[in-house]
């Protein structure tokens, strides 16, 4: 076979890996088919997961077929089921379950993350906003609530987890419930968080803003509490408190896609593969990891990448460039993304934008919301299908920090 860079995943990291690799091949005069760049994914589309707490979830995707075709990237429709680093091969299945094995010269694992699902009785009764179909199920459920008799349970929604996703989901839900039940409905949204503070991973910087927004939106919290059981009528907390709720949304964290378990390499507590500064998996000469499956140094100060769109985009550009550089024998560009920001959506209240790893608040309210809207509707979407513009956007030195 010709040499092949094989990328598993068409999310933010996978898409940009493919385009980053093609960019360098083009620059080196190797975009002539002598090196194939191929992407394996269920569909040639980018799911905009950072927006799935919003309504109209079915629209939160962007087509990639034309972009890939114009850039010279081969798309392979399928679900990766096995990776053999000994044989340099990947096995994937189609919708009917038929499996095919394909070889690679270099592999980029960009399979993203999955929702953390602990062994809690009744967890299957909870909704989530992890994937497009999940968000669509929640939207359909909310739209049908008005068919239920008026009750406290019908009007109550519990969000399990007070991290980034839980906060954004909770802030949006009072508005979404009233849109379904009527503006005068006495709705309750309650966030249950195991830690003693909301947004434990966000630190104290934005917390007063989040608390203010929650107070004005009417979002309640149960801090230092865990959910020990879920049923169709509500949740039971570790303290024994019962919350009757017709709707429970599970947002309690993420883990690296379990395909990483097939790579014999060191992993962090979330299942992410340890990589070097060029994003090569430590101990494997032909395997790179990027996005949510990579445990990567972001600077020289000990900071590591987060499982976020912000880091996935830039990790993807770097992984694509460096895997192609490795194959061609040219110098890599070590991954670095020293500026770190967060922009947390707080529903109709606005948003809060912070800068730095200590998350100092720089913008809040309506002003931050304008920035968040721009990020969510423009910056994180794929580039145009124009080949030159697409490849230029894949420059690994082009760091997008939102």
Per-residue pLDDT averaged across 309-336, rounded? 97
Q: How far is CA 218 from the centre of its chain?
A: 27
pLDDT at position 401 over 70 = no
pLDDT at residue 58 in the model? 81
| Residue 338 predicted with pLDDT over 90 | no
What is the rounded CA–CA span in Å between residue 400 and residue 380?
Answer: 9
- Say if CB 305 and CB 298 are below 8 A apart: yes
56 burial level (CB within 10 Å; 0-12, 13-18, 19+): exposed
pLDDT band at 189 (very low <50, low <70, confident <90, very high): very high
Angle at 292 between CA 290 and CA 298, to 5 degrees: 65
- Nearest CA to 41 out of 106, 90, 2 is that of 90
Contact 46, 62 (CB under 8 A): yes
The answer on pLDDT for 382 being more than 80 is yes
259, 272 contact by CB (below 8 A): no
Question: What pLDDT is recorded for position 155?
Answer: 98
pTM score, two decimals?
A: 0.95
344 in Cβ contact with 351 (< 8 Å):
yes
Average pLDDT, integer, range 166-174: 98
Residue with tokens 């993304």: 337
For residue 110, which of 401, 312, 276 has the smallest C-alpha distance? 312
pLDDT at position 402: 60
Map residue 219 onto helix, strand or coil. strand
Q: Strand 287-289 relative to strand 294-295: parallel, antiparallel, unpaired?
A: unpaired
Query: Strands 106-109, 287-289: parallel, antiparallel or unpaired by DSSP?
Result: parallel
221-267 pLDDT tens trace: 999 999 999 999 999 999 999 999 999 999 988 999 999 999 999 99
pLDDT of residue 2: 82
- What is the structure's pLDDT at 399? 73
Q: Mind listing the pLDDT tens digit for each residue in 266-288?
A: 999 999 999 999 999 999 999 99
pLDDT for 38 beyond 80: yes
Mean pLDDT of 31-55: 93
On the question of pLDDT at 1 being above 60, the answer is no
Give the mean pLDDT of the chain: 95
The residue-averaged pLDDT of 187-213 equals 96
- The mean pLDDT of 322-336, rounded to a whole number, is 97
Question: What's the whole-number mean pLDDT along residues 163-184?
Answer: 97
Q: What is the pLDDT of residue 398?
A: 84
Predicted confidence (pLDDT) at residue 388 exceeds the cutoff of 90: yes
Element (H, E) at 91: strand 89-93
Please, are residues 191 and 167 in contact by the beta-carbon 8 Å criterion? yes
Average pLDDT of the segment spanning 302-325: 96
> How far from 206 is each of 108, 201, 371, CA to CA, in Å?
35, 11, 16
Per-residue pLDDT tens digits for 98-137: 999 999 999 999 999 999 999 999 999 999 999 999 999 9
| Distance, CA of 311 to CA of 79 (rounded, Å) | 24
Instruction: Encode pLDDT of 132-151 as tens digits.
Output: 999 999 999 999 999 999 99
Cα dihedral angle (382, 396, 130, 216), rounded to 10 degrees? -90
Instruction: Kindly report the length of the chain.
Output: 402
């Amino acid at each position: 076979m010709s040499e092949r860079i094989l990328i598993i995943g068409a999310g933010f990291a996978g898409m940009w890996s493919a385009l980053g690799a093609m960019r360098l091949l083009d620059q080196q005069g190797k975009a002539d088919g002598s090196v194939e760049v191929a992407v394996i994914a269920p569909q040639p589309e980018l799911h905009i997961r950072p927006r799935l707490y919003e309504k109209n979830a079915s629209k939160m995707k962007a087509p990639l077929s034309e972009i890939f075709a114009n850039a010279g990237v081969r798309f392979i429709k399928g679900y990766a089921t096995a990776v053999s680093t000994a044989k340099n091969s990947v096995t994937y299945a189609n919708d009917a379950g038929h499996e095919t094995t394909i070889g690679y010269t270099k592999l980029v694992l960009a399979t993203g993350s999955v929702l953390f699902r602990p062994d809690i009785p009744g967890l299957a009764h909870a909704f989530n906003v992890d994937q497009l179909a999940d968000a669509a199920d929640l939207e359909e459920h909310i739209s049908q609530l008005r068919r239920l008799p008026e009750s406290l349970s019908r009007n109550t929604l519990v969000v399990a987890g007070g991290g980034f996703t839980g906060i954004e989901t909770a802030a949006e839900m009072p508005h979404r419930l009233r849109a379904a039940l009527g503006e005068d409905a006495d709705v309750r949204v309650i966030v249950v968080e195991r830690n003693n503070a909301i947004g434990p991973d966000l630190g104290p910087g934005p917390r007063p803003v989040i608390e203010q927004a929650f107070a004005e939106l009417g979002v309640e919290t149960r801090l230092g509490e865990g959910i020990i059981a879920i049923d169709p009528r509500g949740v039971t907390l570790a303290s024994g408190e019962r919350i009757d709720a017709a709707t429970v949304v599970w947002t309690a964290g993420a883990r690296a896609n379990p395909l990483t378990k097939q790579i014999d390499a060191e992993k962090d507590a979330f299942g992410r593969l340890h990589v070097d500064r060029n994003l090569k998996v430590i101990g494997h000469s032909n395997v790179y990891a990027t996005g949510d499956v990579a445990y990567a140094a972001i600077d020289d100060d000990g900071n590591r990448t987060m499982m976020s769109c912000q880091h996935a985009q830039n990790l993807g550009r770097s992984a694509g460039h460096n895997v192609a550089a490795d194959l061609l024998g040219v110098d890599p560009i070590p991954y670095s993304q020293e500026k770190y920001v967060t922009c947390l959506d707080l529903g109709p209240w606005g948003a809060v934008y912070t800068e730095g790893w200590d998350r100092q608040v720089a913008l809040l309210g309506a002003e931050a919301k304008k920035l968040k809207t721009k990020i969510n509707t423009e910056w994180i979407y794929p580039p145009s299908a124009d080949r030159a513009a697409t490849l230029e956007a894949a420059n690994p030195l082009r760091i997008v920090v939102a």
